[in-house]
Structure 1
Amino acid sequence: MSDTAVYAAGAVVWRLIDGKLRVLLIHRTKYRDVTLPKGKVDPGEMLAETAVREVREETGIRVALGVPVGVSKYWMRPKRQKVVHYWAAEATDDAIRASSFVPNHEIAAIEWVSVKKARGRLSYPVDVEILENFARLVDDGVLHTFPLIALRHAKAVSRSDWDGADAERPLTEKGLRHAKAIVAPLRAFGVRRIVTSDAERCRQTVAPLEKKLGRVARVTAKISQDAWEDGTADVRFVVGKRVRSRKPAVLCSHGPVLPGILSEMALATGTMHGSYVSSASALNVAAFSVVHLSVTNPGSGIISIETHEPKL
């Protein structure tokens, strides 16, 4: 990120009404315009976290992020660039019913319209470009997606400073802070299932997420570093099970194992192994890559991969 740019995040929020696709537009009070829900990143936030928060604040609807649909850039006074990241995000029937939106001093109204009508109503060309990116996904038949997330454990005590077994190395104080910091960004993608290496540093990394979700992680040696090094790992089994489940999940593992995890995700979905797969596995501690797959046909290949990292 640039120090001079202003960063924001939002979403193309969609739902099916009687089988017909509708997208959500907001009518802003102050600017008297029609736009997509979005807002500025708060200090310490990651972009995905911002997108979910802003959608809820502006529309009252809690969403989980789907596929990224582009980045808009435009200039603000005085000569500062605004960079806005967008995702597709489904508004479920339950989320609609739970919404407490009422017109206020910021948002005069929200409106569900067809993609065709949205093109004509949006006030800004940059928003129309994002909508067109979303429309192409719809045309490609990948509206319903689910994420598999490869997470590298947070910073652990170094081997040189640890006398016990490698698998028992705990997180540092910074590592513990970042384990808490990534909870909201992971939840932004709708994660409900957690699979983790049995190493202590991985278990500590997902502990705050377990607590927030009220769910217990599936602990396995099949994606541990020890098993990877001695040849007893079974990454294919773990990844294959998660692909077949078609449910949002996070897999917490280690730097040396992550390339195998991403490669197996590509193989399991019939995706050509390109440099982007290798890049997505080269994660710093506490960083994660989100692999988006089609719910209806996960074997059709990876739709997109995005990487997120807390400020270290």
Structure 2
Amino acid sequence: MTARQAQETEHSQSLARRKAVEKAVYAAGAVVWRIVDGKLRILLIHRTKYRDVTLPKGKVDPGEMLAETAVREVHEETGIRVSLGVPVGVSRYHLPSTKQKVVHYWAAEATEDAIRASTFVPNREIAAIEWASMKKARARLSYPVDLEILDFFEHLVDDGVLYTFPIIALRHAKALSRAEWDGADAARPLSERGRQQARSIVGPLRAFGARKIVTSDATRCVETVKPLARSLERKTVQTELLSQDAWEDGTADLRSIVGKRVRSGKPAVLCSHGPVLPGMLAEISLATGTIQGSYLSSAADLEPAAFSVVHLSATNPGSGIIAIETHIPKV
């Protein structure tokens, strides 16, 4: 094959991949679970129109990020509000229109409070919801792609990592450039696009149960988490120990901040700067006894307002990182 032929082949393959993405329909859902009398139960939905049994899921609305879609769809279809746990796979299949449907799934615990608060009644879309054992769920589910997702989920159960919590490493949203700002760098605010990004990530961050917010005291970081704090009705913890200035002059203390969050076992957002994020991810791996690798560098290489969710075992956080996923805002 000549260089020209190779170039043409690569170009045609690139076009094919682009067309496949354009044709794809994206959706998100969850394997919703609970423990009843010491036994695991999985939530199934019986759909009215299709007369099938499947896992709760639905298509992404315009402007939504996938995690946000998963939480919204679970609530709309079952009346249960959940926070997302570990990702449990992606299913792909073709619709009658020939478009490919791509569905991202997470594990999600249904707490007793959330179940009691559910106002579900049978409707035109969902005829019934059912809590089933793993064995019965396998027998009831209508589609092989759902069984593959259940297989992945069952591996988590077998590995003893059903209960998890996230530490979310967030890079601040887009700030004014240094050329546009003549004050101190730490006081540089968000741009208009950055403010839009900060608002757009509130739903996705809440989807993972974010409650505690710790941020660099730089203005661009504080402004990034402000919409989230307002939505949660919570105060932020602002510290120079996560700041870029402290990182550059050697006075940052990522270890104490990360260690405290790992020990707490509760969902948290840590907002900082691009140069600081690799150190933050490294400290999470050290605090959990995880072997470091290139995946950490990838998780730390974030665009403005992007974030990586590090999932840890709630019962044994020192057993290592279970999964890492990265989310990029659409704004």
Larger-Rg structure: 2
Task: Quote how far apart the aligned CAs of 1:77 are.
Answer: 2.4
Whole-Å separation in 1 of the counterparts to 2:257 and 2:120: 41
2:81 aligned residue (55, 62, 66): 62
Q: Which residue of the partner structure matches residue 253 of structure 2?
A: 234
Structure 1 residue runs of 5 or longer lacking an equivalent are none
Give the secondary-structure state (helix, strand or coil) at the position aligned to 1:303.
Answer: strand
Q: 2:66 aligns with which of 27, 36, 47?
A: 47
Q: How does 1:1-312 map to 2 (within 5 A)?
A: 2-312=21-331
| Structure 1 residue 76 displacement after superposition | 1.0
- 1:4 and 1:235 mapped to 2: Cα distance? 43
1:104 alignment partner AA:
N
Q: Which structure 2 segments of 5+ residues have no match?
A: 1-17
Name the TM-score, length of structure 1 as normaliser: 0.99
Quote the Cα distance in structure 2 between the aligned partners of 1:223 and 1:306: 22
1-side partners of 2:96 and 2:39: how far apart?
Answer: 40
1:192-241 CA-to-partner distances (Å, cap 9, x unmatched) read: 10000000000000000010001000100011000001110001111000
Output the CA distance in 2 between the equivalents of 1:20 and 1:75.
35
TM-score normalised by the chain length of structure 2:
0.94
Shift of 1:39: 0.1
Q: What is the rounded CA distance, in whole Å, between the counterparts of 1:58 and 1:135 in structure 2? A: 23
The number of residue pairs the alignment matches comes to 312
Alignment partners' CA distance in 1, 2:111 and 2:325: 23
Alignment deviations for residues 155-212 of structure 1 (CA, whole Å, 9 cap, x no partner): 0000111100000000000100110000000000001100000000000000000100
- Give 1:70's aligned amino acid: G
SS where residue 264 of structure 1 aligns?
helix
Query: Partners in 2 of 1:138 and 1:79 — Cα distance?
Result: 35
Distance 1:21 1:173 in 2: 47
SS at match of 1:15: strand
Which letter does structure 2 place at the counterpart of 1:102?
Answer: V
Higher helix share: 2
Identity %: 75
Runs of 4+ with deviation above 6 angstroms: none
